[in-house]
Amino acid sequence: MNAPPPGWYPDQADQRYVRWWDGHQWTPHVQPARAPAPPQGDGSELELSVGGTGDSASIQQQVQQRAGVGGPVAGGGGTLFTEPVLVINQQAKLIEMSNQYAIYDQHGRQLGSVVQTGQSGAQKALRVLTKLDSLMTVKLEIRDVTGRPVLLLTRPATVWKGKVQVQRPDQSPVGEIKLANVWGKPRFDFEIGGQRIGGMRAENLRAWDIKIVDHADQQIGQITKTWQGLAKAAFTTADNYVLQIHRPLQDPLLSMVLASALTFDTIASQQQ
């Protein structure tokens, strides 16, 4: 995937500033940030947040202490498709009408975001009052640091085994991530044109640790669900994940792995 174009982007070390990205790496050049734009929406949402999605220090603690990553992992090119460790934190809200996530690297720099799209007013109402929205279609966009979509995820409405369709921004298909079982430890398969190229295997019933495997069931990565803190745990269902990729991967497997934690959260965690 192409790196974001040169430009000024939010400095995750200090939100009062923006830092210059030269197209290949972050530079030492910073300047005061303008006031942030209000969140996009149709004006009908009333969502009360419980804290932010994380800062540099808390992200590093999440990676090293809660996910057990022993110090910084070498490598990475500063984008969603090149970093060996990604932190995917769901925005916590007292009143939650849609899913929103921030994606960071292991040092706490924000690399992208995830937003839910295409919700009707009825679906938002059901999200507040019931859990029936879990039976409706869910659409997510994974966006890079510039806000451009890089992957589209769709979980079709279902009452049984769930799946997520992965597409590129032009809506061309990448593949599907399918829940392979209903009972026991969750298992998912990555399928391209009906052929299995890998999958996810939860290591326990609570599914806090999930192995990512290739077509030969060799481990290529790990998803760790990390404790989200007292405020989030007590009042919301928001979840945090650390995604580790153990070796360089090529597409389409790389895109399926990038979508894996969000697939698990959308199918398994959100239905609990």
Is residue 171 domain-resident? Answer: yes
pLDDT of 16 higher than 70: no
CA dist., res. 92 & res. 99, Å (int): 9
Task: Point out the least confidently predicted range of 7-16, 131-140, 218-227.
Answer: 7-16
pLDDT tens digits along 53-86 = 556 778 888 888 777 787 778 888 889 999 999 9
The rounded mean pLDDT for the chain is: 78
Are 54 and 154 in the same domain?
yes
Query: What pLDDT was estimated at residue 50?
Result: 44
Are 23 and 95 in the same domain?
no
Is residue 60 domain-resident? Answer: yes
Query: What pLDDT was estimated at residue 230?
Result: 45
Are 12 and 146 in the same domain?
no
Query: What pLDDT was estimated at residue 39?
Result: 41
Is residue 264 domain-resident? Answer: yes
Are 27 and 53 in the same domain?
no
CA dist., res. 256 & res. 198, Å (int): 9
Are 21 and 125 in the same domain?
no
Model confidence, pTM: 0.74
Is residue 40 domain-resident? Answer: no
Are 84 and 14 in the same domain?
no
Preceding peptide of 252 cis, ω within 30°: yes
Query: What pLDDT was estimated at residue 265?
Result: 81
Query: What pLDDT was estimated at residue 29?
Result: 76
Are 104 and 12 in the same domain?
no
Are 243 and 139 in the same domain?
yes
pLDDT tens digits along 151-188 = 999 998 876 668 999 999 999 999 999 999 878 888 99
- Ordered strands of the 7-10 beta sheet: 7-10, 17-21, 26-32
**Greater confidence, 219 or 6?**
219
Query: Which candidate, 164, 168, 159, places its Cα nearest to that of 178?
Result: 164
Are 207 and 246 in the same domain?
yes
Is residue 7 domain-resident? Answer: yes
CA dist., res. 53 & res. 147, Å (int): 17
Is residue 41 domain-resident? Answer: no
**Backbone phi, psi, residue 182, to 5°:** -105, -40
Other Cβ atoms within 10 Å of 132 Cβ, number: 11
Are 29 and 58 in the same domain?
no
Burial class (CB in 10 A: 0-12, 13-18, 19+), 111: buried
Is residue 42 domain-resident? Answer: no
Question: What is the widest separation between alpha-carbon atoms in the chain?
Answer: 53
Tally of domains within the chain: 2
Question: Could you tell me the CATH number of the domain that includes residue 253?
Answer: 2.40.160.200
Q: Which domain holds residue 16?
A: 1-34
Task: Point out the least confidently predicted range of 16-20, 31-35, 116-120, 186-190.
Answer: 31-35
Are 122 and 228 in the same domain?
yes
Query: Which candidate, 185, 186, 184, 195, places its Cα nearest to that of 256?
Result: 195
